Structure formats: structure tokens, C-alpha cells
Structure 1
Amino acid sequence: MKAAVVQSAGQTPVFAEFNTPAASTDENLIVVTASAISQVVKSRASGAHYSSGSQFPFVVGIDGVGRLDDGRRVYFILPTAPYGSMAEMAVVRSHQCIVLPDALDDITAAAIANPGMSSWAAYSERAQLKPGETVLINGATGTAGRLAVQIAQYLGAAKVIATGRNTESLKDLEALGADVIIPLTGDRSALEDAFREQFASGVDVVIDYLWGDSAESLLICAAKAGKDAVPIRYVQIGSISGPEISLPGAVLRSSAITLMGSGIGSIALDRLVNATAELLHATVPGNFKIAHKVVPLSEVENAWPLDDSNRRTVFKVKGGA
């Protein structure tokens, strides 16, 4: 079969022949129709992600959309190694497949599942967001962050605060439901004043895609907001601004901040699959929007370095709907 194959760590995937998989008794053999690039996929392909394997060559891709033998359309996650989702065929454990609603097309499902799941799982599984609460999304201008704004509203958040470096993209978030936007630009003192103002009014949940300097400022400002401030559930999802922060221990001792992460490993797989199913069934009713472009899988080598956080690259494999 044809697939996007990584021959060794750090190499760009190439469109090449790979052995056709065979399913065991607890697996489904899936004819893949669509699969998208994500930060996790790129990191695993490079060998840098904490969940990366050491087996080469392998087919890239951790999730996708396809058809079962009986014709049902499914979204699937974590194919059995060395087979990935960016191939004509994939093998996946049965409980890692989600039957798609009829109204949701293959391309949209492939585009929205991974970035949408990142915030849906963080809200529902980690932060346990309740209707009427206030959410702050740190790094809301990428595809995942924009979905986080929409999903927070859908799940009943009363107020959504969005931060980001791109001021033009931040303005667009107001149309998606952001009530307050905070540019991560300019003087740090002015930025921290803006953070303190929001925390003084009450922030229940922080969803952080950036980490780095802005996370340091957010946590310190949250702690300084005072004892009357609302306890905060701070969920770290991504590290675009850097893998480490410097945080005084007094920040956690002097405040009611619960600091946690959300990702592969922090949530049991069955609950992660369930969260993704909830997202996919809410996509059409919630009218969730995601920017994406469709590229034939045969062009994976050229498309790979051009992918960015503003628009998802979805590979069309076998005539997806």
C-alpha cells in the first residue's frame, strides 16, 4: 500500500510503499479517507515527543477517518504501530474507533478531532468546567485555541478571555465568542496589569497552549489576585513558547491554584476516546469552525514543512466524503 513513511528519526515523511497491515481479532482494518497533520504528529515523526517510538521505518499519523468493512464511517485514534493513519490502510483496536454522525463529513472530522479534543478533554476531564464559569485561553490564535474559544461557549462558559501574539487573529476571536482579548505583546508590566484585572474579576479555568513566559506571568498574577479570588484550575496543554518555566513555590502555597496537564497519558484512553466522540457529535450542532486545506497524500513531502498552526493540513487518501 501507499503511505507517508518516516525512514529514520528527524526525516520528513515520504510517499512510499509500505506493507499492507492485517487485523487481529480485536482490531479493525480501516480504509483511510483522510488524516491531518498535528503538532503531536510532527513531534512524534521527529522522535522528540514523549510518546514517540523507536521503531523505524513507520507510517506517520495518530488519527484519521475511514471506512470499516461494513461501510460505516469512523474516526480512529492511535493505529497499531508501525502503521499510522497517513496510509491507504490502518489497523486500529475496535474500542479506538468512533462511528461518525451522518452530517459530519470526513475532511471536517479529520481536521477538527485532534485540536478540538485537546480543549474538550481539558474542559471536561481535567478542569471539569461548569456552565456559568469564566475561562481564560492562553494562546488562542492557533487552530486549537480558536476551537477552545468556541467549545468553551458551547459548554456554557459565561465569559471567555483569549490571549495571543497575533493582534489581527485576536480580533477575529471576538466573532467566535471571545469576550475579552489580551495581546501578548509589548511591556510585560502592562501585560501583567491586564492579567491581574481579569483574575480580580474571577477566572475559574485557564487552558494554556503556550507555557513559557506568559504562563509564568499568568500563574504569578493569579496568585497575587488575593484570597478573595476564585480558585483556579490551570490546565497545561502545549508548550509552544518553551518547555520549561521558572515558578516560585510561594505561588502554589499562597493561592488556590490547581496546576495540571492534559494530553496523552494524563487521561485514560477510553475517556479520551469518549471525549473525542462527544466533540465530533457536537461539531455540527455547535457550528464549530476550523480553517483547513486539503492536500493529496502523494504530496506529503512537499506539504509537511508548509503546515502551520493557522490552518490544518488534511491529507485526502481515498476519496473521502
Structure 2
Amino acid sequence: MKAMMCRAFGPPESLVLQELPSPPLAPGQLRVAVHACGVNFPDLLMMQGRYQFKPPLPFAPGGEVAGVVVETGPDATGFPVGARVRCSVGHGGFADEVVVAGKQVVALPDAVDFVTGAVMGAAYGTSLHALADRAQLAPGESVLVLGATGGVGLSAVQLAKLMGARVLAAGGSDAKLAQVAAAGADAVVNYNTQDLRAAIAAFTDGKGVDVVYDTVGGSYSELALRSTAWRGRFLVVGFTAGEIPKLAANLLLLKGCAAIGVFYGDYLRREPEHGRAEFQRLMGWFESGQLKPHIHRTYPLAEASAALRAMADRQVVGKIVVVPR
């Protein structure tokens, strides 16, 4: 098998394409030929040794893949050879095959292509879990998405609109925000050049925003928290700005609002049945054509470093995908 390996913590360019022996299958495991692997911000953090989960070196980045079952281990059931599947693997996806346990796999409908299937977990799964389960978003409510031009942020914009919310999308590039507006955001604000709190006040007629979806962290988090409505929900999703904010607890008291953590990977591990139900809800939207991911670009396996570099340099709107086959 071929894989792009991280042998020492460092920048994207430190990945090395290697030929490795295919690992044997333990009971209950499947071998999946990888046709597409979604690229996500945690891949960068893992390569730098900065993610909350640190796989032992050496490892291949890539946490979500779509492909075809090519071999089944003893006692493996539910997914025969030839089955089209989507897998949450945590890491190891920058390869032409992966070995997974059956509980990590869900069926991929024929109507969903591999590239689409590979991006439905980390981005769309996170956003659906955050908005529907953690925030209990209701139709007619307002949502502010911080970092709306990234893959996770744009998925939150799309899903919040499908759920009947009004969406204010915030980002740092006018050109990228124009694409987010075209994807359905009701309004956009460039928090590098505009007053974020003034934009929230104008969008909500001074009432404050019901839900904040924060993928960015840093200085924008407290500004958004100060502009939440009574009983607002502040979703802590990620820290792409590199700084973990220290939220003022008195603001939670004064607004009767809640700060809510969103850790999708651990949610899937702890509550797999709930995660599968949410995935089926996503599948319905994809199959009906109500939801379509914005794929910025695909990269061959040997160019996985370039994919990560594009993400690190904020050159991406929506999702990028490594396509080993």
C-alpha cells in the first residue's frame, strides 16, 4: 500500500510518500480501498503535535474516507466485499487503503459519489451535531458563523439554512464571503475590515444572535459572545486562529446564555447510534439534492502536502479532498 506519512512533527511539506506492507486483518475488521479522503484542519494540528489526540509517529493524516470494501476479516459482518462505504478513521486516510473496524463504517448510497462521501463527516457531521443536537436550533432563529469560508463553517451555513434559520456569515476575505453568500448566507461580514458587533446588531435588529457557531477562537469569540441574545447558545467548535479564548463567565450569567462544547470525534465514539442517525439525516439531504458540498479542489495522493498547505495558507473555500485512486 502507498501512504503519505508524517515521520516527525512539522509543516505539510514534511509528508513522505511511502510504500508500506498492507496490515493483516483482525476479527471484525475490513480492508477498504480509499477512493477519496477529506482534508480537515485537525490534520494540520496532528502534524504539528498540537491536536488533542496525538497518534504515535509515524502516521498518515486523514480522518475521513470513502471507498470500497476489498477484504473482510474473521467475524466481520454487514459490509461484504464490493460494498461502497464511508469510514471515520481518525488518521491514516492519506493512503490507498485503510483497515477499519465495522463500527467505523457506514454504507454509502449509490447516489453519493466518493468525493462527496468523504467530506460528510468532519464538516457536515460536526455542524449537524452542533446545530441540531447541542444548540437545539429552531426555525426562525438567527445564527452567526465565525470562520464561514472554511469547510466546517460553510457546512454550518448550509445546514442552518436547511433547518430554517437566518444566517450571518463572518470571515476575513470579501472574495470568499461572496462565495458563501452565493451558497445561501442571508448576510456576510468581514471581521477584518468591519465592526462585527455592529453587523450582528443590524442583522438581528439589536436583539442579539441566538446561536454563535465559532470555528475561529481568538479575539472574535468574546465579541460574538457579547452580542448573543437572551438564552443564546455559543458553540465552541474550533480554534483556527490559533488562540484559545478565555470567555468571561459573567457574560453567560447576564445573558442567561450557554457556552457549549462540540467535539464530534468523541461524540461518535461515545454515542455511535446517535451519530449514525444524524448521518442518515445528512444522507437524505444529499440524496434529495437539498445539500451539496462545495468542493474547492481535489488532489492526488502524492500532492497531499499541497492540499494541507492550501488549507494552512487560508486559500480554500469549502472542502478539499485527496483522491488516491
TM-score between both structures, scaled by the size of structure 1: 0.86
Q: 1:309 aligns with which of 312, 316, 320?
A: 316
Shift of 1:275: 2.9
**Alignment-derived partner of residue 226 in structure 1:** none
The whole-number CA distance in structure 2 between the counterparts of 1:273 and 1:42 is 26
The whole-number CA distance in structure 2 between the counterparts of 1:275 and 1:116 is 10
What SS does the aligned partner of 2:119 have?
Answer: helix
Shift of 1:268: 4.2
Contact 1:139–1:209 (CA under 8 A) maintained in structure 2? yes
The whole-number CA distance in structure 1 between the counterparts of 2:230 and 2:251 is 15
What SS does the aligned partner of 1:204 have?
Answer: strand
**Alignment-derived partner of residue 149 in structure 1:** 157
Structure 1 residues 165, 305: closer, same or farther in 2, change over 3 A? closer
Structure 1 residues 78, 289: closer, same or farther in 2, change over 3 A? closer
Q: 2:82 aligns with which of 71, 78, 94?
A: 71
**Alignment-derived partner of residue 263 in structure 1:** 263
Gaps in structure 2 of 5+ consecutive residues = 71-80
Q: 1:160 aligns with which of 148, 154, 167?
A: 167
**Alignment-derived partner of residue 278 in structure 2:** 275
Shift of 1:277: 4.1
TM-score between both structures, scaled by the size of structure 2: 0.85
Query: For 1:218-250, what per-residue CA distance to the aligned partner results, in whole angstroms no more than 9, with x for missing partners?
Result: 11233xxxxxx4411110112122322243332
Structure 1 residues 313, 194: closer, same or farther in 2, change over 3 A? closer
The whole-number CA distance in structure 2 between the counterparts of 1:264 and 1:193 is 31
What SS does the aligned partner of 2:117 have?
Answer: helix
Query: For 1:145-179, what per-residue CA distance to the aligned partner results, in whole angstroms no more than 9, with x for missing partners?
Result: 2221111111222x111111212322333332212
The whole-number CA distance in structure 2 between the counterparts of 1:41 and 1:197 is 37
**Alignment-derived partner of residue 234 in structure 2:** 234
Q: Please, which moves more after superposition, 104-113 or 144-153? A: 104-113
**Alignment-derived partner of residue 62 in structure 2:** 61
**Alignment-derived partner of residue 244 in structure 2:** 244
Shift of 1:15: 0.9
- Letter aligned with residue 44 of structure 1: M
Query: For 1:115-143, what per-residue CA distance to the aligned partner results, in whole angstroms no more than 9, with x for missing partners?
Result: 22221121122112223322221221222
Q: 1:195 aligns with which of 195, 200, 207?
A: 200
- Letter aligned with residue 88 of structure 1: D
What SS does the aligned partner of 2:109 have?
Answer: coil
**Alignment-derived partner of residue 293 in structure 2:** 289
- Letter aligned with residue 191 of structure 1: L
**Alignment-derived partner of residue 34 in structure 1:** 36
Contact 1:98–1:277 (CA under 8 A) maintained in structure 2? no
**Alignment-derived partner of residue 140 in structure 1:** 148
Contact 2:88–2:121 (CA under 8 A) maintained in structure 1? no
Contact 1:13–1:60 (CA under 8 A) maintained in structure 2? no
Identify the structure with bigger relative contact order (alpha carbons < 8 Å, sequence gap 6+): 1
Contact 1:192–1:221 (CA under 8 A) maintained in structure 2? yes
Structure 1 residues 314, 268: closer, same or farther in 2, change over 3 A? closer
Shift of 1:311: 5.0
The whole-number CA distance in structure 2 between the counterparts of 1:283 and 1:238 is 25
Shift of 1:45: 2.3
What SS does the aligned partner of 2:57 have?
Answer: coil
What SS does the aligned partner of 1:212 have?
Answer: coil
The whole-number CA distance in structure 1 between the counterparts of 2:294 and 2:306 is 22
What is the root-mean-square deviation in Å for CA atoms of aligned residues? 2.3
The whole-number CA distance in structure 2 between the counterparts of 1:183 and 1:313 is 23
What SS does the aligned partner of 2:94 have?
Answer: coil
Q: Please, which moves more after superposition, 307-316 or 103-112? A: 307-316
- Letter aligned with residue 196 of structure 1: A
- Letter aligned with residue 305 of structure 1: R
- Letter aligned with residue 298 of structure 2: V
